[in-house]
Chains A and B, each alone.
Chain A
Amino acid sequence: MPSWATRNEVIVALVIVALCVVTALINPSFLSLATLFDMLRNGILIGLLAIGVMLVLISGGIDVSFTAIAAFSMYAATMLLVDLGIGDSLLLAFLISAGIGLSLGMINALFIAGFGLPTLIVTLGTLSAFRGFLLAFVGSDLISNVPPAMRDFSRSMLVRGTDAAGYFYSLPTAVLFLIAAVVITWFILYRTMLGRSIFAVGGSREAAARIGFNVRATQVFVYGYVGVLAGTAGLIHASLARVANPSDIVGLELEVIAAVVLGGARLTGGYGTITGTLLGVTLIVLVNNTLVTLGIPTTWQKVMIGFLILLGTGLPAFQARLRANRMG
């Protein structure tokens, strides 16, 4: 078997294609632009978060606090915008939310890069602490009168079409943020020394330090970047949903990590690709949004999702195992 055929990305892509074919056979209306746009729209949040998680995994860490950061920045930013009456500027909204995300990311960085604590432990702690702080001290009521800038943003569409019955299907402008995040992250990872330092630290922290990479600076960047991505993703989520609900988003962390690992990133660090991550996100979003179309009874849906996760991770893992056996 040629080596490309056994790569994670290819296997996940095949699973995706198979799922699409089966869905389309059962319900031909699945093959529509509306489906595509809906999936893209529902993939924005997970996609942005997944890119951050991928970066962390590459750098040899793991982050479970990013959902709490997203919820915190989203809610606190919306609250600030409303309370200060400065809800007219979208730019300001994003700056505030990303800024809060950055600050929370820096708290992670303080413990991880500053004290050198294990990342899983730190982010487990901050997940609990950020969420608890938000709901106990910032607020727990949802804000449904989101500021005008966010409301307008949610109505701003990149493409809008009309189907046979005269109804719209549309692609929100927010998808540009996902595209921008992909491009920027790709550039950082593959065109800059900073990107190489992230891979290097993930491959061998010790070796990176010995040849003179600034390991701490790299970690600070990674957790800060994740914070910014999470803050941005949070604000987009609140805008599109037209409500800032502080208990949203938290709870997605394992799903997002699953998407990234499905895409071939390794939990042991050093490995991960953007294509793979996007494929992993696609599979997760697809599974979550085709079960009704497939006619799977609600009671069986959890079983299905679990089974597809096992299939998506199991196939590449088993392939790799066979390959390793052949090599010895």
Chain B
Amino acid sequence: MPELADPQTRPEPHGGPHGEPPALRRLLGLVGGASPLTRLAVITAIIFLVMSLLRPDPFFTAGNFSSMAFQIPEFALLSLAIMVAMLTGGIDLSIVGVANLSSILAVLVMRHLAPEVGGEAGTLGVIALGILVALLCGSLCGLLNGLCVSYINIPPILATLGTGLIFTGIATVLTGGAAMMGFPAEYSVIGNGTLLYVPVPMWIFVALAAVVAVILSRTAFGLKVYMMGTNPLASRFAGISNAGINIRIYMICGFLAAVAGLIIASRANSAKADYGEAYLLLSVLVAVLGGTNPYGGVGRVGGIVLAVLSMQFLSSGFNMMQVSNFAKEFIWGALLLVVMVVNLLQFRSAPAAPGLPRPQGQPAPSLDKT
């Protein structure tokens, strides 16, 4: 076979940007040839250890564990809701509004009916009815979000910003802004009781997280969610009903938010239009820290659990050291950035990733969309 050219000289191969010194590579390899999830687990464990060593007395005590277990569920549920919405490439900024509106409806129902029924069974029935109303309200709010996003095509961030204002507004109209009291005494178990040494709200969170995890990873619906989040156009061509997926996802969000609202209400023994407002951006932060890609298609329940734990360890630990809560905010932000950079350096040290060609027109399937 004839040669096109026979170069006389063959100079030394030139090195690409992968020519990192091997020492650095090895070091990065030590940080873990692991997945981002494992790395987050390591970071969470380190935070736990450091806090335990710094303040062993109040931090590493049963009392503190119980206290943290009571604090976690409500914002963990909200973070879970945000993660679920982010899987589709959307976001749900209305969760706090949904939570408060649902719990206000619940307390209205219970307050109205409780005096009219007698006996323990009657009270339990009223509580169940109140909870049902709240969950229904949450799902309906989610349905409204889903319709705005998939039928009217409003960008999720704006649709849920708008509906969130509306839900909070209706909550204000219903209550005039005041806190609504009047839960039957038994209702306090939801937020304040314990079962087998573990707080009831924690059981609720664990159960729901498990259900969401199963839905996402073990059902056809879950698979379709990830696919649609990756490329909505292709999912339409593959015969997936994007609208159907979106609606169900936002209904799940609304449902989770309503549960969070019920827990908050039980822990506060009241419902109010402005409870938990600070949780919104915090939940977004937790969801992202947990490895969720805000552009869709990537995110796992396990990541949320780890992110929630690390945030809580930091938060309680710093409270015990009497660190200003503003410093805590600073550290949360910094933690997010550090985790992302560590993940990145890890990716860089693996041979495959950089310059992955992202074909034009692809709606941002992976993290390289910035």
Range, interface on chain A: 35 or more
Range, interface on chain B: 35 or more
With a CB–CB cut-off of 8 A, which chain A residues contact B170?
A: 303
Residues B327 and A310 in contact, CB atoms below 8 Å apart? no
Q: Flag whether B336 is at the interface (Cβ < 8 A).
A: yes
With a CB–CB cut-off of 8 A, which chain A residues contact B155?
A: 261, 267, 313, 317
With a CB–CB cut-off of 8 A, which chain B residues contact A306?
A: 161-169
Residues B363 and A307 in contact, CB atoms below 8 Å apart? no
List which B232-276 residues lie within 8 A (CB) of chain A.
Answer: none
With a CB–CB cut-off of 8 A, which chain A residues contact B159?
A: 310, 313-314
With a CB–CB cut-off of 8 A, which chain A residues contact B104?
A: none
Complex CA distance for A46 and B200, rounded to whole angstroms: 45
Interface centre among A120, A137, A205, A268 (most CB of B within 10 A): A120
Residues A303 and B284 in contact, CB atoms below 8 Å apart? no
Complex CA distance for A262 and B336, rounded to whole angstroms: 30
Measured CB to CB, the nearest residue on chain B to A322 is B153
With a CB–CB cut-off of 8 A, which chain A residues contact B56?
A: none
Q: Flag whether B19 is at the interface (Cβ < 8 A).
A: no
Measured CB to CB, the nearest residue on chain A to B168 is A302
Complex CA distance for A210 and B206, rounded to whole angstroms: 48
Complex CA distance for A317 and B155, rounded to whole angstroms: 8
Residues A136 and B153 in contact, CB atoms below 8 Å apart? no
Q: Per-position contact with A for B274-309: 1 when CB-CB < 8 Å, else 0?
A: 000000010011001000011100000000000000
Q: Flag whether B148 is at the interface (Cβ < 8 A).
A: yes
Complex CA distance for A190 and B368, rounded to whole angstroms: 27
The 8 Å CB contact of B295, one of A118, A205, A310, is A118
The 8 Å CB contact of A132, one of B162, B167, B327, B337, is B327
Measured CB to CB, the nearest residue on chain A to B329 is A132
Measured CB to CB, the nearest residue on chain B to A120 is B294
- The verdict on A206 contacting B357 (CB below 8 Å), with A128-B332, A307-B166 known, is yes
Measured CB to CB, the nearest residue on chain B to A304 is B169
Residues B285 and A124 in contact, CB atoms below 8 Å apart? yes
Residues B169 and A140 in contact, CB atoms below 8 Å apart? no
Q: Per-position contact with B for A261-277: 1 when CB-CB < 8 Å, else 0?
A: 11000011000000000
Residues B165 and A124 in contact, CB atoms below 8 Å apart? no
- The verdict on A321 contacting B166 (CB below 8 Å), with A129-B337, A258-B158 known, is no
Measured CB to CB, the nearest residue on chain B to A60 is B370
Complex CA distance for A33 and B161, rounded to whole angstroms: 32
Q: Per-position contact with B for A194-229: 1 when CB-CB < 8 Å, else 0?
A: 000000000011110000000000010000000000
Expressed in whole angstroms, the minimum distance between the Cβ of B10 and any Cβ of chain A is: 29
- The verdict on A118 contacting B163 (CB below 8 Å), with A126-B337, A131-B329, A206-B358 known, is no
Measured CB to CB, the nearest residue on chain B to A201 is B370
Q: Flag whether A119 is at the interface (Cβ < 8 A).
A: yes
Complex CA distance for A118 and B364, rounded to whole angstroms: 11
With a CB–CB cut-off of 8 A, which chain B residues contact A318?
A: 152-153
Residues A136 and B173 in contact, CB atoms below 8 Å apart? no
Binds B, one of A36-44, A108-116, A179-187: A108-116
With a CB–CB cut-off of 8 A, which chain B residues contact A305?
A: 165, 169
The 8 Å CB contact of B166, one of A60, A111, A257, A302, is A302
Residues B358 and A313 in contact, CB atoms below 8 Å apart? no
Complex CA distance for A310 and B165, rounded to whole angstroms: 10
Complex CA distance for A281 and B330, rounded to whole angstroms: 30
Q: Flag whether B192 is at the interface (Cβ < 8 A).
A: no
Measured CB to CB, the nearest residue on chain A to B359 is A206
List which A58-77 residues lie within 8 A (CB) of chain B.
Answer: 60-61
Expressed in whole angstroms, the minimum distance between the Cβ of A91 and any Cβ of chain B is: 31
List which B349-370 residues lie within 8 A (CB) of chain A.
Answer: 357-361, 363-364, 367-370
With a CB–CB cut-off of 8 A, which chain B residues contact A116?
A: 344, 368, 370
- The verdict on A321 contacting B337 (CB below 8 Å), with A116-B370, A129-B330, A204-B360 known, is no
Interface centre among B154, B166, B333, B369 (most CB of A within 10 A): B333
The 8 Å CB contact of A136, one of B176, B288, B324, is B324
With a CB–CB cut-off of 8 A, which chain B residues contact A309?
A: 158, 161-162, 165
Residues B163 and A125 in contact, CB atoms below 8 Å apart? no
Q: What would 19 A/B residue contacts be, using CB atoms closer than 8 Å?
A: A111-B337, A111-B340, A117-B337, A117-B341, A119-B370, A121-B340, A126-B337, A128-B281, A128-B336, A129-B333, A135-B326, A205-B370, A207-B360, A258-B158, A268-B364, A303-B169, A306-B162, A314-B154, A317-B155
Interface contacts beyond A118-B294, A268-B363, A306-B164: sample of 16 additional A-B pairs, CB < 8 Å, sorted by A: A111-B337, A115-B340, A124-B284, A125-B333, A134-B326, A135-B329, A137-B330, A140-B326, A204-B360, A205-B358, A258-B161, A299-B173, A303-B170, A306-B163, A310-B166, A317-B153
What is B's interface to A at a CB cutoff of 8 Å? 93, 148, 152-155, 157-159, 161-170, 172-173, 176-177, 281, 284-285, 288, 293-295, 324, 326-334, 336-337, 340-341, 344, 357-361, 363-364, 367-370
In the complex, the 6 A-B pairs of residues with the closest C-beta atoms, listed nearest first: A132-B330, A306-B165, A129-B333, A128-B333, A302-B169, A132-B329
